[in-house]
Amino acid sequence: MRVLVVEDDEDLRISVSIELASTGLEVLSAPDLVTADAVLREDGFDCVVFDRMLPDGDALDYVQHRRRAGWAVPVLFLTARDSVADRVAGFAAGGDDYLVKPFSVAEMAARVRTLCRRSDGRPSVLRHADLEVDCARRAVRRDGVLLTLSDKEFAVLEYLAIRPDQVVSRSDLIEHCWDASADPMSNVVDVVVKRLRRKLGQPELIHTIRGRGYRLGAYGPLS
């Protein structure tokens, strides 16, 4: 899933981008509307996070203009404006969510992931056998028991759970669950999968398909 963060405060832009990337999202950023518009000419974004007041204008006006042209990418507004009228104006202009500063970066990340799933019509809770992956709350249960996973473990499990009974290659997991600096030749995927298997317990749900990758399934490896 791909997200653009548009924020002129460099420290906030970096912290928001790092938090989103840590959950397995591909994150691009822009400091103003002109840069954001150039980036958004490329398709493939699942959500855009806009600070409302940017050096070259109000993002609300930009989004409203794009919505009138048929643009449908989910939008989260970040703003210091906290009146009811401001929130109503944000939704009326085409915003999908509205978060008032100061905010919890973790909460913002959860909201962004929910909007990303909305863009592809995916349910917020993924179920497979006795496994339940609540993507909105970032909670995982096996046979009703809540499990404690790291951000990377959750990202890998979520990616596999979206594609049950499909073989997912290590390179796909690297591309979607790690940032661009990850070494595709390293064993980081195997290490995370090994920890996931231990935490998920028996019977085993994540199967190694020799020479191809991994598959989430209730039964053993398929030939």
31-67 pLDDT, tens digit each: 999 999 999 988 778 899 999 899 999 999 999 998 8
Give the bridge partners for 57, in sequence order.
Answer: 54
Write the CB contacts of 112 (distance below 8 Å, at least 6 apart in sequence): 3, 20, 25, 47, 49, 76
Given this model, what pLDDT does residue 198 score? 94
Token pair of 134 as six digits: 């609540």
Using one digit for the tens of pLDDT, what is the confidence trace for 113-142? 878 876 665 666 788 889 998 876 678 999
- What's the CA gap between 76 and 38, in Å, rounded? 19
Cβ-based neighbour number of residue 152 at 10 Å: 19
147 pLDDT band, cuts 50/70/90, is very high
Evaluate whether 117 touches 124 at the Cβ level (below 8 Å). Answer: yes
Strand 97-100 to 125-128 pairing: unpaired
- Reported as a single tens digit per residue, the pLDDT across 100-118 is 888 888 788 888 887 887 6
**CA separation for the pair 54, 203 (Å, rounded):** 52
Can you count the helices (H) and strands (E) in the chain? 8, 14
pTM of whole model > 0.75? no
User: How far lies 41's CA from each of 15, 44, 72, 221, in Å?
Assistant: 25, 10, 13, 42
Using CA atoms, how far apart are residues 5 and 17, in angstroms rounded to an integer?
7
Output the pLDDT for position 93.
Answer: 87
Q: What percent of the chain has pLDDT over 70?
A: 90
| Structure tokens, 133 | 């992956």
Average pLDDT score over the chain: 85
Domains of the chain (ranges plus CATH)? Answer: 2-119 (3.40.50.2300), 125-216 (1.10.10.10)
